[in-house]
Amino acid sequence: MEENLIIDFTPTGLIPTKSLTPYIPISISEIIEDIHSAWELGITKVHLHARDVQTGNPTYKKDVYASIIEGIRKFAPSLVICVSLSGRAFNKFEERSEALELEGFLKPDMGSLTLSSLNFNQIASINSPEMILNLANKMKNLGIVPELEAFDAGMINYAKYLIKKGLLIPPFYFNLLLGNIACAQADLLHAGIMIRDLPENSLWSLAGIGDQQLMMNSVAIAIGGGVRVGLEDNIWYTSSRTKLASNIDLIKRIHILADANGRKIMTSEEFRQKMNLENGSGKYGRAIIKT
C-alpha cells in the first residue's frame, strides 16, 4: 500500500534573489505568507531558510528563525518545521547550529543535515566529517530530528555510517536531490539506486534541481515517494524558462499530479506519528519514547 504523499515545501533557499524572480519570499512576512498559502492548499512540512532583515542575504541568526517560526505556528501549530543548517554560506559550527537552540513554542522539529561536501555551479557546500558528526550529535542531544540530504549514493552510505555510530536514530527522513552538476543526475537509474540503498525504516522525497524538479517530483508521485518542491530548487514554471513560477504555482501543480495518481497528501500529524515527533500542540522535536 502506497504511503500518502509527503510535500516538503522549500520556499526560499539561499540563492534566489528579487532580481532573479519577484516571487521569491525573502522578508519574514513574505516567507510566512507563502507558507500560510501553501499550508492552506496542503503541505506536510516546510524547510526554512532565513534571510537578513536589512540585506536579504542568507542568515543563520536564531532570532530571525524565531520570528518566522512564531509567525507560522500562529496559524499552523502542527506544521512540521525544519531549519536549514547549510554549509554553503556559513561554515562555523556555532553559526550553522545556532537555530537548533530555539526552545519551547519556537523549537524546530528538524534540522537539515547534508551528508558530505559537494560543488554547486559556482560555490561549494563544505560539510567536513567533523561538522556532520557535531551537527548530528547536537540534534540528537536536543531532541531534533535530522532531515538527511543526499545528493548521491555515497551520502546514503555515510548516513549508514552515522547510524552505526549511534548518531542517527530511526525512523529516518531523506531528501534525495538529483540533477546538481557535480552529483547524481536526474534520471531513473540514479534515483532507483539511491532509493534502493536507503536504510530500513526510511521515508523519502525526491527533489530535482532547476529544470529537473518537475520530472523528479512526477517520478516520486508515480512510484509512491514524497516530493521536495519550491523556489529554493527551481524558479521556473516551464522547462523552456519562459514563465517564472510562484511557490503557490508549484504547490498547486503537485496537487494536480497527486490527484491524477490517486495520492492523498500526508498531513503533518501523520508525518509526526511516522517520524516519532511530538504532536505539535506546543511540543516539538523528537518525542520521548516511554519504556
* pLDDT tens-place string over residues 60-93: 999 999 999 999 999 999 999 999 999 788 889 9
Assess if residue 280 is contained within a domain.
no
Q: How many domains, the chain?
A: 1
* pLDDT tens-place string over residues 128-152: 999 999 999 999 999 999 999 999 9
Q: Provide the residue range defining the domain that includes 249.
A: 7-274
Assess if residue 286 is contained within a domain.
no
Assess if residue 281 is contained within a domain.
no
Mean pLDDT is lowest, of 130-139, 152-161, 242-251, 279-288, for 279-288
Q: Examine the pLDDT at 106 and tell me if it is beyond 60.
A: yes
With bands split at pLDDT 50, 70 and 90, how would you rate the model's confidence at 269?
very high
CATH of the domain at 150: 3.20.20.70
Assess if residue 199 is contained within a domain.
yes
pLDDT at 121: 85
SS3 sequence, the chain?
A: CCCCECEEECCCCCCCCCCCCCCCCCCHHHHHHHHHHHHHHCCCEEEECEECCCCCCEECCHHHHHHHHHHHHHHCCCCEEEECCCCCCCCCHHHHCHHHHCCHHHCCCEEEEECCCEECCCCEECCCHHHHHHHHHHHHHHCCEEEEEECCHHHHHHHHHHHHCCCCCCCEEEEEEECCCCCCCCCHHHHHHHHHHCCCCEEEEEEECHHHHHHHHHHHHHHCCEEEECCCCCCECCCCCCCECCHHHHHHHHHHHHHHCCCCECCHHHHHHHCCECCCCCCCCECCCCC
Mean pLDDT, the chain, as a whole number?
96
Assess if residue 74 is contained within a domain.
yes
Provide mean pLDDT across the span 210-238.
97
Assess if residue 31 is contained within a domain.
yes
